[in-house]
Chain A
Amino acid sequence: GAGVSQSPSNKVTEKGKDVELRCDPISGHTALYWYRQSLGQGLEFLIYFQGNSAPDKSGLPSDRFSAERTGGSVSTLTIQRTQQEDSAVYLCASSPPQGYQAFFGQGTRLTVV
């Protein structure tokens, strides 16, 4: 399929462990975004990539969160020393150059126990 792909779909991890969430955007989309959807909350912006650069990291909640993008394509969101409050659905979206529409992945549901 040509949509945004995220893996894994579900991740259960123990408190204190590190996790990596992956996003494969639509080919040719230069912009990539990570959002977090917590229970009862809206979608919270985390970070924006244009190509491999991240000009806006303002939504990352703490220094335990980091993200990178390589080759202008795949992105990885890493959460170190996970806490229970990190439990949420993490959504990735991409947009084409000059485009306005965000195309979302199916999300990764992270549960920290």
Chain B
Amino acid sequence: AQRVTQPEKLLSVFKGAPVELKCNYSYSGSPELFWYVQYSRQRLQLLLRHISRESIKGFTADLNKGETSFHLKKPFAQEEDSAMYYCALTFSGGYNKLIFGAGTRLAVHP
């Protein structure tokens, strides 16, 4: 079965510090991995997609198939990055059905 694990419920850092939000997945095939973000009082929205290999708002994430990980990184955190971050996967034939992790709350302090 497909599964996404985010081991940290809360990650607390100071402004300017590097950030790494961990995500591991289990799926025997080739998944597509995403990070979704929910800012305070806003709806859940897509942050980035592994296939795109983009940097969005300074965040990057690399799919490591050997370690089955898709960690989200940013070299210098900003206060406006404070939000709830969800790692999610879809799978071939999965009609974009998202399997989500439990989420990590990122708190960036001034």
Q: Which residues of A contact B (CB under 8 A)?
A: 3-4, 31, 33, 35, 40-45, 48, 50, 55-56, 91, 93, 95, 99-107
Contacts and interface: CB of A to CB of B under 8 A. Distances in A.
Query: Which A-B residue pairs are the 7 nearest by beta carbons?
Result: A42-B102, A43-B100, A104-B44, A42-B100, A106-B43, A104-B43, A101-B46
B95 A43 contact: no
Given A42-B86, A42-B103, A43-B86, A102 B98 contact: yes
Contact of A100 (B32, B43, B86, B102): B32
B107 to A, nearest CB: 17
Contacts, number: 55
Nearest to A58: B97
Contacts of B69: none
Interface string B6-17: 100000000000
The A interface, classified by DSSP as helix, strand, loop or mixed, is: strand
Interface in B75-110: 86, 88, 90, 95-103
Contacts of B49: 100-101
Interface of B: 4, 6, 32, 43-46, 49, 86, 88, 90, 95-103
Contacts of B45: 103-104
